[in-house]
Structure 1
């Protein structure tokens, strides 16, 4: 198992990863289809690591790769804007439908929190829609403390906001 950013040689497994989400009604940001070439996508990801682009905060994407397959992905956002402070948090993640309920989300979140700790970013905010019990349990198992549940005005969706203090 590796947990890392994409490289040029990952194009095929990345395309397979994107296809694995086609039947899902909710697609996490790291699994959305790309526009342009894979090389352009990698260049955009590299640029996003240190710069805000088109109202997006600086962020890095990491992928859980095992047996030659991308099984999960994480968007690690290094800053929060107003929207992320309420509804998105520092970390967004997803596990491909075929690989759920195997502890991958919990492991990815552990690995991502280690990166935040190395970068001295704490506390870390992670959100989950209220209905998503699996994600809420993943966050709680990694030390998440529920602060509140808020409604997203434009969609009416309820979001649980969890904080994880990496200094304790």
Structure 2
């Protein structure tokens, strides 16, 4: 159903995701696939990094998470205040007579309540980005390190002669 989450979706690397709009040739994608099928990817894993770097990355991830959650909550709060103001002006009739039509009330109520449903969806999505393992995804810190290594590899690699520049 449209209101339920998708549970068993296959995870794909960043360059194989449907709708990817980068300029990565199929040969380069196969080469990156070869790196990913190796027992150990050439990029460092999160566990291989020094403890200070792990702590720094964790702090950045949490700051980013907090920023996204605060943005979602503040946007919903702001729109709800506008909805409450519309309801108050229509009901109490500040400087005008109270409205006899139901439409301003419906619009105000919609602005009061709807943002919190949108906010809860964003809240869950942000939480899933921070902790994707709960839903069968890879460790995103390791995945982001691999992605940066692969992007660096693609920019340094000369596809015409197969050498690195």
TM range (shorter): under 0.3
Bigger relative CO (Cα 8 Å, ≥ 6 apart): 2
TM-score between the two structures when normalised by the length of structure 2: 0.25
Compare CA radii of gyration and give the structure with the larger one: 2
Q: Which has the higher strand share?
A: 1
Q: Which has the higher helix share?
A: 2
TM-score between the two structures when normalised by the length of structure 1: 0.25
